[in-house]
Amino acid sequence: AAAGKLLVVPVDGSHWLSMRELLDMLQQKGHEVVVVAPEVTLHIKPEKNLMMKMYPVPFTQEEMDRVP
């Protein structure tokens, strides 16, 4: 088997929490994983073991935190 390269554009929320575990396992198997996510999110945060590329959005973390 050969390792591959994966570009991941995740959906925030519980979907990300499940996907993060899967990405960790894929990296352990030798895959190169790059995650592209907005700078302001509920759950997607930069992690030392994942290559993260963040892009700007037109709202702040404080505004996001106020959304019910």
Chain segment 16-26, per-residue pLDDT in tens: 988 999 999 99
Are 19 and 8 in contact by the 8 Å Cβ rule? The answer is yes
Q: What is the pLDDT of residue 52?
A: 94
Are 36 and 9 in contact by the 8 Å Cβ rule? The answer is yes
**What is d(CA 66, CA 29) in angstroms, rounded to the nearest whole number?**
39
**What is d(CA 24, CA 60) in angstroms, rounded to the nearest whole number?**
28
**What is d(CA 59, CA 2) in angstroms, rounded to the nearest whole number?**
41
Does position 1 have pLDDT exceeding 80, yes or no? no
Total domain count, the chain: 1
**What is the DSSP annotation of 10-26?**
PPSSHHHHHHHHHHHHH
Q: What is the pLDDT of residue 33?
A: 93
- Give the residue numbers spanning the domain of 48: 5-66
